[in-house]
């Protein structure tokens, strides 16, 4: 079981690097959905003696439904209606983005063991995976021009916050976790409306065109 949990954490980090190197929006959305499904399995894989199985099931089910299914469906609908398939000219190239992501992963694994944690029995890969995923999401948000790519970056960033939250899953009330997932859903819904209006006004989802509004 321990080796399987290690594999899940490693796959989450590999997905972070793949997203930084990918220009295909459809493949990126599918990959984010897979990452969401992997993260949904973590509460069940990490549950141990003295933990509440019902709490873990509720957290896993909510994460799978929202991160692994509903939000990817919304994103596919957005790129289909906008008729876009690729992120062509990012602010930072795909290879440099992946190199920056790799540096972040190395630093996360090097320094995470020195952080004070609320739970001494936490899995060794949990914190570095969370830090790596937050870093990858932040890179996607600031280095991409397409609104769809930036929304995906926001989702990846939130996935990292979700992994951090697993440290507190025993003390975090269910309603707070439900509120976090609801905030994520609301944010993606609002950003979907913004993407619709950008595409309608400029026939493009390039966020740099928003600067024309100041003229």
Nearest to 21 by CA among 140, 147, 146, 145: 140
Contact between residue 167 and residue 117 where contact means Cβ atoms under 8 Å apart? yes
The residues, ordered by sequence, that sit 6+ positions from 100 with a Cβ below 8 Å of its Cβ are 20, 92, 139
Q: Specify the pLDDT at position 28.
A: 92
Distance CA(183)–CA(188), nearest Å, equals 9
Of the chain, the percentage scoring pLDDT greater than 90 comes to 24
* CA 26 to chain CA centroid, nearest Å: 15
Query: Nearest 5 degrees, angle CA 170-CA 171-CA 175?
Result: 100
φ, ψ dihedrals at 83, nearest 5°: 55, 50
Distance CA(34)–CA(28), nearest Å, equals 10
153-201 pLDDT, tens digit per residue, is: 888 988 888 888 777 666 555 655 666 666 666 666 666 666 666 666 6
Mean pLDDT of the chain: 80
Contact between residue 195 and residue 205 where contact means Cβ atoms under 8 Å apart? yes
pLDDT at 83 over 80: no
User: What's this model's pTM, rounded to 2 decimal places?
Assistant: 0.81
Contact between residue 158 and residue 34 where contact means Cβ atoms under 8 Å apart? no
């Amino acid at each position: 079981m321990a080796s399987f949990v290690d594999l899940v954490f490693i796959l989450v980090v590999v997905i972070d690097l793949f997203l930084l190197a990918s220009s295909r929006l459809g493949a990126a959305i599918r990959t984010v959905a897979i990452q969401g499904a992997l993260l949904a399995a973590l509460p069940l894989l990490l549950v141990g003696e003295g933990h509440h199985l019902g709490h873990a099931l509720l957290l896993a089910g909510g994460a799978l439904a929202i991160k692994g299914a509903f939000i990817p469906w919304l994103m596919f609908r957005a790129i289909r209606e906008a008729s876009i398939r690729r992120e062509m000219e990012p602010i930072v190239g795909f290879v440099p983005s992946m190199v920056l992501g790799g540096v972040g992963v190395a630093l996360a694994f090097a320094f995470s063991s020195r952080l004070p944690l609320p739970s001494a029995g936490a899995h060794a890969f949990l914190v570095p995976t969370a830090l790596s995923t937050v870093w990858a999401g932040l890179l996607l948000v600031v280095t991409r021009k397409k609104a769809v790519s930036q929304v995906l970056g926001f989702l990846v960033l939130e996935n990292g916050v979700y992994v951090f939250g697993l440290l507190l899953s025993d003390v975090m009330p269910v309603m707070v976790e439900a509120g976090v997932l609801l905030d994520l859903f609301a944010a993606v819904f609002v950003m979907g409306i913004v993407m619709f209006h950008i595409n309608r006004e400029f026939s493009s989802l390039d966020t740099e065109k928003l600067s024309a509004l100041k003229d």
